[in-house]
Every structure is written in structure tokens, then in C-alpha cells.
């Protein structure tokens, strides 16, 4: 089963890297990537414990509802909400609250880095535009891997 887990984890890393790259370059997290992350999480959950899959799915649904409220207020982008809900399927119910907290802390670091980068750009070129929006996919992925480092550490084992 280790072989299957490595394939799943490697696929997850690749999908999340695609989410980050797309968000940084275009400020869009493609629906297909979010769907693939969710489906892969469902498959991983069915392999690990088929009876317990319902709880992360319900958690993902709750994150969608809460996230949509934040999206309507302009706090989070729609892709960010979908990515968080997709990653919630990988987590236990206890981890979901921690995931939101870790993501918020990582978001603060990412936001500060973007502010500093925008400030440095403005110092060099007074006509340069200020940073518009923060690509939050990086913070979401950091929050996820902070809670579930096993999903990436398994790939490093010989």
C-alpha cells in the first residue's frame, strides 16, 4: 500500500503546486485543480478508512458555506474557498479548525511579504502599481502541510 500512498501524495503535491503557480501568475485557482484535489482526497480517505470519509466531506461542505460568506464580503476569492474545501476532505474533523487557523497565520506572512515586495517595487519605480490582492493559495497549502506533513514526508523516505 505504500506505493499507492506515494502516488497519491506525489499527485497531491503536483496539484497543489499547480494551484499555487496559477494563483501567483493569474490570481485564479482553476476549478479542475480543486476538483482533482477533492477527488484525490476522497480516494485517499476511502483507502485509509471508508467508514470515516463522511466526516471530512461534511467538513468540506461547512468550509464551503463559511467560505462563501467570506467571499461575498470580499475577504476570500472563490478559488480560495474551493481549494480550502477540497483540502478539508484530507483532514479529520479536529484538524479542520486548526487548518483554518494555520491558513490565517500563513496568510498573514504571505500578505506581509506581498506588502513588502510592493513597497520595494514602489521605491524603485514611483509609477509601479501597488500590489493588488494576495495569492492566498500559498497560505492555504502551507496551512495544510503544517497539519499534515506526512502527506509530503512520505515522498522523501527511501
pLDDT above 90 covers a percentage of the chain that reads 56
pLDDT in tens, 142-153: 999 999 888 887
Whole-model pTM: value is: 0.88
Mean pLDDT to the nearest integer, 130-146: 87
Confidence of residue 102 (pLDDT cuts 50, 70, 90): very high
CA distances from 3 to 6, 8, 138, 155, 158 (A): 5, 9, 27, 10, 12
Contacts of 118 (CB under 8 A, 6+ apart): 130, 131
- 83 touches 19 (CB < 8 A): yes
Contacts of 131 (CB under 8 A, 6+ apart): 114, 115, 117, 118, 121
d(CA 10, CA 152): 8
Instruction: Reply yes or no on whether the pLDDT at 79 is more than 90.
Output: yes
pLDDT in tens, 3-46: 888 899 999 999 999 999 999 999 999 999 999 999 999 999 99
CA distances from 155 to 6, 100, 126 (A): 6, 25, 45
d(CA 90, CA 71): 22
pLDDT in tens, 46-78: 998 888 889 888 988 988 999 899 999 988 899
- 130 touches 118 (CB < 8 A): yes
Query: What ranges do the domains of the chain cover?
Result: 4-154
Amino acid at each position: 500500500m505504500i506505493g499507492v500512498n506515494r502516488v497519491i501524495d506525489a499527485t497531491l503535491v503536483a496539484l497543489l503546486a499547480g494551484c499555487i503557480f496559477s494563483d501567483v501568475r493569474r490570481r485564479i485557482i482553476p476549478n479542475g485543480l480543486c476538483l482533482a484535489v477533492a477527488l484525490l482526497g476522497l480516494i485517499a480517505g476511502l483507502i485509509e478508512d471508508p467508514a470515516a470519509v463522511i466526516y471530512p466531506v461534511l467538513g468540506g461542505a461547512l468550509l464551503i458555506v463559511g467560505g462563501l460568506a467570506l467571499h461575498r464580503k470580499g475577504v476570500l476569492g472563490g478559488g480560495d474557498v474551493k481549494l480550502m474545501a477540497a483540502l478539508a476532505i484530507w483532514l479529520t474533523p479536529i484538524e479542520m479548525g486548526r487548518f483554518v487557523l494555520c491558513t490565517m497565520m500563513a496568510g498573514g506572512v504571505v500578505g506581509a511579504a506581498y506588502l513588502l515586495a510592493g513597497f520595494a517595487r514602489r521605491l524603485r519605480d514611483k509609477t509601479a502599481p501597488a500590489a493588488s490582492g494576495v495569492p492566498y493559495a500559498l497560505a492555504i497549502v502551507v496551512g495544510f502541510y503544517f497539519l499534515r506533513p506526512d502527506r509530503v514526508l512520505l515522498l522523501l523516505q527511501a
